[in-house]
Amino acid sequence: MARNKVEICGVDTSKLPVLKNDEMRFLFKRMQKGELDAREQLVNGNLRLVLSVIKRFNHRGENMDDLFQVGCIGLMKSIDNFDLSHNVRFSTYAVPMIIGEIRRYLRDNNPIRVSRSLRDIAYKALQIREDLIGKNNAEPSTKQIAEEMELPHEDVVFALDAIQDPVSLFEPIYNDGSDPIFVLDQLRDEKEKATSWVNDLAIREGIQKLNSREKLIINQRFFEGKTQMEVADEIGISQAQVSRLEKTAIQEMNKSVLEKMDEA
Contact criterion met (CB below 8 Å) for 163 and 122: yes
Q: What's the CATH code, domain 1-109?
A: 1.20.120.1810
| Tally of residues, the chain | 264
| Domain spans, the chain | 1-109, 110-166, 172-263
Q: Report the SS3 class of residue 156.
A: helix
**Interior angle at CA 206, CA 201 and CA 192, nearest 5:** 45
Ranking 23-32, 169-178, 246-255 by mean pLDDT, the lowest is 169-178
Distance CA 4, CA 45 (A): 19
Model's pTM, two decimal places? 0.43
Q: Cα–chain-centroid distance for residue 173?
A: 9
Model confidence band, residue 186 (pLDDT cutoffs 50, 70, 90) = low
The listed CATH number (1.10.10.10, 2.60.40.10, 1.10.3720.10, 3.90.800.10) that belongs to domain 110-166: 1.10.10.10
Q: Where are the alpha helices (DSSP H) in the chain?
A: 21-32, 36-44, 47-54, 64-81, 90-108, 116-136, 142-149, 153-162, 195-201, 204-208, 212-218, 228-235, 239-263
Distance CA 40, CA 28 (A): 11
Contact criterion met (CB below 8 Å) for 218 and 207: yes
User: Do the first three CATH levels of 1-109 and 110-166 match, i.e. the same topology?
Assistant: no
The residues pairing with 8 across neighbouring beta strands, listed in sequence order, are 11
Phi, psi values for residue 180, rounded to 5°? -75, 160
pLDDT in tens, 36-91: 888 889 988 898 889 888 888 776 667 888 888 899 999 999 999 888 887 788 88
Q: What is the pLDDT of residue 174?
A: 57
pLDDT in tens, 121-174: 888 888 898 888 888 888 888 889 999 999 998 888 888 877 666 555 555 655
Q: Return the closest-CA partner of residue 90 out of 54, 123, 48, 143.
A: 48
Distance CA 227, CA 24 (A): 48
Topology classification of domain 172-263: Arc Repressor Mutant, subunit A (1.10.10)
The residues pairing with 7 across neighbouring beta strands, listed in sequence order, are 12
Measure CA of the first residue to CA of the last residue in the chain; give whole Å.
62
List of residues 6+ apart from 142 with CB closer than 8 A? 125, 153, 156, 157, 160
